[in-house]
Amino acid sequence: MGASVRPSFSEGLGGEQGWPKALRGRGPQAVSGILTALGRAGLWSPRRQLLLATWQALSRALVTMDAESLLLSLELASGSGQGLSPDRRASLLTSLLLVKRDYRYDRVLFWGRILGLVADYYIAQGLSEDQLAPRKTLYSLNCMEWSLLPPATEEMMAQTSVVKGRFMGDPSHEYEHTELQKINEGGKVFEEEVVVQIKEETRLVSIIDQIDKAVAIIPRGALFKTPFGPIHVNRTFEGLSLSEAKKLSSYFHFREPVQLKNKTLLEKADLDPSLDFMDSLEHDIPKGSWSIQMERGNALVVLRSLLWPGLTFFHAPRTKNCGYIYVGTGEKNIDLPFML
Amino acid sequence: MEDSTSPKREKANQDPREAGQPWEEVTAASSQGLESGLSEPLELEQGLETGPQPRSPPQSPQSRASIPLDDLTGPGASYPPSPPQEASYTPSPPALARQDLAVPWPSDKTTSVNPEAGTPHFHHLEQSSDKGESTASHTFQSEGSTFRQSQQTKHHLYGPEDVNYNNSKQKELRFNIFQDEDSNSNYDLDYAEPGVSELAPSMLEITIQSAKAYLQKTSSKSGLNLYDHLSDMLAKVLDERPENAVDIIESISQDVKMGHFRKKLDTLQNENEMLPTYEIAEKQRALFLQGNLEGADQELEDEILTDTHPIQRCRFWGKILGLEMNYIVAEVEFREGEDEEDVEEEDVTEERDDADSEADEDDEDQLPRTFYKTPQAIPKEENRTGANKYVYFVCNEPGRPWVKLPSVMPAQIVTARKIKKFFTGRLDAPIISYPPFPGNESNYLRAQIARISAGTHVSPLGFYQFGEEEGEEEEEVEGRRDSFEENPDFEGIQVIDLVESLSNWVHHVQHILSQGRCNWFNPIQKSEEEEEEEDEEKEEEKGEEPDYTEQEVGPPLLTPISEDLEIQNIPPWTTRLSSNLIPQYAVAVLRSNLWPGAYAFSNGKKFENFYIGWGHKYSPDNYTPPALPPVYQEYPSGAELTEMDDPTVEEEQAFRAAQEAAVLSAEENEETEEDEEEDDYDQE
Q: Residues A192, A180: contact at Cβ < 8 Å?
A: yes
- Name which of A226-235, B30-39, B429-438 the model is least confident about: B30-39
Give the CA dihedral B449, B454, B457, B462, nearest 10 degrees.
150
List the end-to-end C-alpha distance of chain B, in Å, as a whole number: 173
Distance from CA of B602 to the nearest CA of A (A): 9
Q: Out of A117, A164, A236, whose CB is closest to B571?
A: A117
- Name which of A52-56, A211-215, B317-321, B465-469 the model is least confident about: A52-56
Q: Residues B76, B5: contact at Cβ < 8 Å?
A: no
Percent of chain B, pLDDT > 90? 1
Whole-angstrom distance, CA of residue A212 vs CA of residue A206: 10
Q: What is the ipTM of this complex?
A: 0.72
Q: Is the pLDDT of residue B104 over 70?
A: no
Q: pLDDT digits over B231-252, tens only?
A: 888 888 888 777 777 777 777 7
- Name which of A35-44, B66-75, B663-672 the model is least confident about: B66-75
What is the pLDDT, as a whole number, of residue B166? 45
B595 lies within 8 A of chain A by CB: no
A277-287 average pLDDT score: 79
Mean of the per-residue pLDDT values for chain B?
61
**Can you say how many angstroms the Cα of residue B240 is from the centroid of all Cα atoms in its chain?**
31
Alpha helices in B292-419, H assignment, sequence order: 297-308, 352-359, 410-416
C-beta neighbour count of B649 within 10 angstroms: 8
Interface of B with A in 235-274 (CB under 8 A): 240-243, 247-248, 250-252, 255, 269, 273-274
Is residue B85 very low, low, confident or very high in pLDDT (cuts 50, 70, 90)? very low
Distance from CA of A189 to the nearest CA of B (A): 33
Q: Is the pLDDT of residue A34 over 50?
A: no
- Name which of A170-179, A323-332, B279-288, B559-568 the model is least confident about: B279-288
Residues on chain A touching B284 (C-beta within 8 angstroms): 47
Q: Is the pLDDT of residue B172 over 50?
A: no
B492 lies within 8 A of chain A by CB: no
Whole-angstrom distance, CA of residue B322 vs CA of residue A79: 12
B432 lies within 8 A of chain A by CB: no
Q: Is the pLDDT of residue B487 over 50?
A: yes
Q: Out of B255, B280, B597, whose CB is closest to A236?
A: B255
Q: Out of A37, A48, A329, whose CB is closest to B297?
A: A48
Whole-angstrom distance, CA of residue A270 vs CA of residue A253: 19
Give the CA dihedral A262, A255, A246, B271, nearest 10 degrees.
-120
Instruction: Tell me which of A19, A88, A166, A240 to substitute to probe the interface with B (most B C-beta atoms closer than 10 Å).
Output: A166
What is the pLDDT, as a whole number, of residue B357? 38
Q: Hey, what amino acid is at A99?
A: V
Burial-class residue B254 by CB neighbours within 10 Å (0-12, 13-18, 19+): middle
3-class SS of residue B97: helix
Interface of B with A in 87-146 (CB under 8 A): none
B602-623 average pLDDT score: 81
Whole-angstrom distance, CA of residue B235 vs CA of residue A85: 45
Chain A CA closest to residue B584: A29
Give, as one character, the DSSP assignment of residue B374.
Answer: P
B423-436 average pLDDT score: 85
Instruction: Tell me which of A113, A223, A293, A304 to substitute to probe the interface with B (most B C-beta atoms closer than 10 Å).
Output: A293
What is the pLDDT, as a whole number, of residue B400? 75
- Would you report the helix, strand and coil content of chain B in percent, each value rounded to 5? 35, 10, 50
**Can you say how many angstroms the Cα of residue B491 is from the centroid of all Cα atoms in its chain?**
44
Residues on chain B touching A296 (C-beta within 8 angstroms): 277, 280-281
Q: Residues B24, B182: contact at Cβ < 8 Å?
A: no
What is the pLDDT, as a whole number, of residue B624? 76
Angle at which helices A69-76 and A86-103 cross, to 10°: 130
Q: Hey, what amino acid is at B248?
A: I
Q: pLDDT digits over B209-235, tens only?
A: 888 888 777 766 666 777 888 888 888
Contact assignment for B240 to A41 by CB distance below 8 Å = no
Q: Count of A–B CB contacts within 8 Å?
A: 156
More confident residue, A4 or B306: B306
B325 lies within 8 A of chain A by CB: yes
Whole-angstrom distance, CA of residue A33 vs CA of residue B587: 6
Whole-angstrom distance, CA of residue A176 vs CA of residue A193: 12
| CA nearest to A93, candidates A76, A74, A116 | A74
Residues on chain B touching A274 (C-beta within 8 angstroms): 250-251
Distance from CA of B210 to the nearest CA of A (A): 34
Whole-angstrom distance, CA of residue B609 vs CA of residue B602: 9
What is the pLDDT, as a whole number, of residue B69? 41
What is the pLDDT, as a whole number, of residue B380? 62
Is residue B430 very low, low, confident or very high in pLDDT (cuts 50, 70, 90)? confident
What is the pLDDT, as a whole number, of residue B439? 86
**Can you say how many angstroms the Cα of residue A144 is from the centroid of all Cα atoms in its chain?**
19
What is the pLDDT, as a whole number, of residue B160? 43
* Secondary structure, 3-state, B569-611: CECCEEEEECCCCCHHHCCEEEEECCCCCEEEEECCCCEEEEE
| Strand B145-146 versus strand A147-148 pairing type | unpaired
Interface of B with A in 4-63 (CB under 8 A): none
What is the pLDDT, as a whole number, of residue A187? 66
Model-level pTM?
0.59
Q: pLDDT digits over B90-99, tens only?
A: 444 444 444 4
What Å distances lie between residue B329 and A133, A227, B414, B611, B624, CA to CA? 43, 52, 22, 9, 29
Percent of chain A, pLDDT > 90? 0
- Would you report the helix, strand and coil content of chain A in percent, each value rounded to 5? 35, 25, 40
B617 lies within 8 A of chain A by CB: no
- Name which of A30-34, A218-222, B399-403, B495-499 the model is least confident about: A30-34
What is the pLDDT, as a whole number, of residue B185? 40
Q: pLDDT digits over B534-546, tens only?
A: 333 333 333 333 3
Residues on chain A touching B603 (C-beta within 8 angstroms): 33
Distance from CA of A213 to the nearest CA of B (A): 22
Is residue B522 very low, low, confident or very high in pLDDT (cuts 50, 70, 90)? low
Q: Is the pLDDT of residue A288 over 50?
A: yes
Q: Residues B600, A69: contact at Cβ < 8 Å?
A: no
Contact assignment for B601 to A293 by CB distance below 8 Å = no
A250-263 average pLDDT score: 78
Burial-class residue B243 by CB neighbours within 10 Å (0-12, 13-18, 19+): exposed
What is the pLDDT, as a whole number, of residue B644? 74
Contact assignment for B319 to A22 by CB distance below 8 Å = no
The dihedral built from the CA positions of residue A260, A262, A265 and A270, taken in this order, carries a sign that is negative
